[in-house]
Amino acid sequence: MVLLFLFISVSLAISDTPVEYEKGIEAYERGEFEVSRAHFRSFLLSHKEHPLYPDGLYYYGRLERDGEEAKKIYLYLVAHYPDNKWAPHACFMVAKYHYANEDFDTGGNWLRKLISTYPESELADSSRSLLRRMVRREDGKKWAIQVGAFKDYGNARRAVRNLRNLGYPVVLVKRKGSQSVLWLVRVGYYYERGEALAAQTVLEERGFRTYLVERPCQN
C-alpha cells in the first residue's frame, strides 16, 4: 500500500511538469533555440505560479537575443527568486553582460555578490577568475579570437554553447549590415596579447579557423 502511494505521488509530480516547459527543454537540448524560446514564452505567460517558473525564466534569458533584455530577465530572477538553483547563474550572466560592455565596476560588484551570497556555488571559482580579468590594462587594448561568423542565429548559438562547454569565455557580437545581420562568435576578451595568442594556438590545434581581433578599451 505504501509503495502504491509512493508510485502515485511520483507519477503526479512528473505529470505536473507543464508540456510547454518540457518541450522547451527538449528543443533547447536539440539546439532548436527559436522553437525552445517559443515554448518557454508560452510557459511563462500561462504558469506564473508554477514552481518551475523561475527555471523557465532562466532558460528564457539564455535564449533572449537582446543582451539588455536578457539582463532584465536575470535581474528579475535574482530579485524575486534568490534561493532558486539558477540564481547564481543569473548573477554570473549579469556580470558577464557588464564585462562584455566594459563596465567592469558593475560587473565586478555582481561577481562579488555571487561569491558572498552563493559561496558553495559551482560558479564561485569562475567568478574569482573573471574578477581577475576585470582589470584595465595600461595600453588600453583588448583582444578576442574570432572563430565564426553566422547568418543563422541558431548556428551561432550552437557554436557559443560548444565553446563554453570547452571552458572558453565567449562573446556573441551582432553585426548589422545594410540588408542582413551577421552573428560573430568570439573567444575573449583578453587584456594581454600574449594570453590571446596562446588561446588562439590552442583553438587552432582543436581544429578551429581563427583570427585575432584587436579593439580599444572604452573609457
- The pLDDT tens digits for 28-75 are 998 898 999 999 999 999 999 999 999 999 999 998 888 889 999 999
Give CA separation, 9 vs 5, 6, 21, 33, 106, in Å.
Answer: 6, 5, 20, 33, 45
3-state secondary structure 64-76: CCCHHHHHHHHHH
pTM of model > 0.85: no
> How many residues are listed for the chain in this entry?
219
Assign 174 a pLDDT band (cuts: 50, 70, 90).
Answer: confident
- The pLDDT tens digits for 178-203 are 888 899 999 988 878 888 888 899 89
Give CA separation, 154 vs 20, 92, 144, 160, 180, in Å.
Answer: 20, 23, 21, 10, 15
All residues at 6 or more sequence positions from 180 whose CB lies less than 8 Å from its CB, including other chains:
151
* In 100-159, beta strands by DSSP E: 141-150
What one-letter code names the amino acid at 98?
H
- The pLDDT tens digits for 88-103 are 999 999 998 887 777 7
Domains identified in the chain and CATH numbers: 2-133 (1.25.40.10), 141-216 (3.30.70.1070)
